[in-house]
């Protein structure tokens, strides 16, 4: 999946979570934003990752020791990011980080490449068995459209 798609999926899960918390429109939007940013975190291993390109995260570090869809796309990395979030953030914000980061791993697991979720224990990329899409293809566009539609519907409902 591409960065914009990860952000859209992240904001969608964040908005749904914010609604479940009973937040007002500002709280829901804030939690959605946290989840969207967290959904971009796994791609810090890619030189063209959104956070590296637009916000200078990790600067110009080559990160030659990290391959794309490597360590940052594992359950171990998700646990580490979750632990840091739980330590430093209020629990509802930490859960938004956890869901956003997890949404990235899940989204990448429906692509042809999959994700190495259980690395280093298992040297295998996992894919969901029922869906394999191409990055930047038609089905990624459909996923974006559904997520944007869902968030728009919720936003207009909460804004009343």
pLDDT of residue 88: 98
Token pair for 42: 């796994």
Q: Which residues pair with 111 in a beta bridge?
A: 133
Residue with tokens 């590296």: 52
Mean predicted lDDT score pLDDT of the chain? 83
Confidence band, pLDDT 50/70/90 cuts, at residue 55? low
51 compared with 90, residue with greater pLDDT? 90
Which among 95, 5, 13, 12 has a CA at the least distance from the CA of 42? 5
- pTM of the predicted structure, to 2 decimals: 0.83
Which among 105, 97, 103 has a CA at the least distance from the CA of 31? 97
Contact 50, 36 (CB under 8 A): no
Segment 2-51, tens digit of pLDDT: 778 899 999 999 999 999 999 898 999 999 999 999 999 998 877 666 66
73 compared with 67, residue with greater pLDDT? 73
Write the Ramachandran bin of 69: left for phi over 0, alpha for psi from -120 to 50, otherwise beta.
left
Domain residue spans of the chain: 3-158
Q: Which residues pair with 115 in a beta bridge?
A: 126
- Taking residues 130-146, what's their average pLDDT? 81
Q: How many CB atoms lie within 10 A of CB 107?
A: 21
């Amino acid at each position: 999946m591409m960065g914009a798609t990860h952000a859209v999926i992240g904001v969608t899960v964040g908005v749904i979570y914010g609604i479940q918390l009973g937040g007002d429109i500002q709280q829901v939007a804030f939690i959605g934003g946290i989840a969207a940013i967290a959904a971009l975190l796994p791609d810090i291993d890619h030189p063209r990752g959104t956070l590296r390109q637009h916000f200078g995260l990790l600067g110009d570090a080559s990160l030659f020791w990290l391959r794309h869809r490597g360590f940052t796309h594992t359950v171990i990395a998700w646990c580490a990011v979750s632990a840091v979030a739980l330590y430093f953030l209020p629990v509802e914000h930490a859960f938004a980080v956890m869901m956003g980061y997890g949404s990235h791993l899940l989204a990448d697991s429906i692509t042809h490449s999959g994700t190495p979720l259980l690395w280093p224990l298992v040297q295998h990329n996992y894919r969901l068995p029922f869906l394999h899409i191409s990055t930047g293809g038609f089905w990624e566009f459909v996923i974006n459209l559904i997520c944007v539609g869902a968030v728009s519907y919720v936003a207009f409902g909460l804004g009343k």
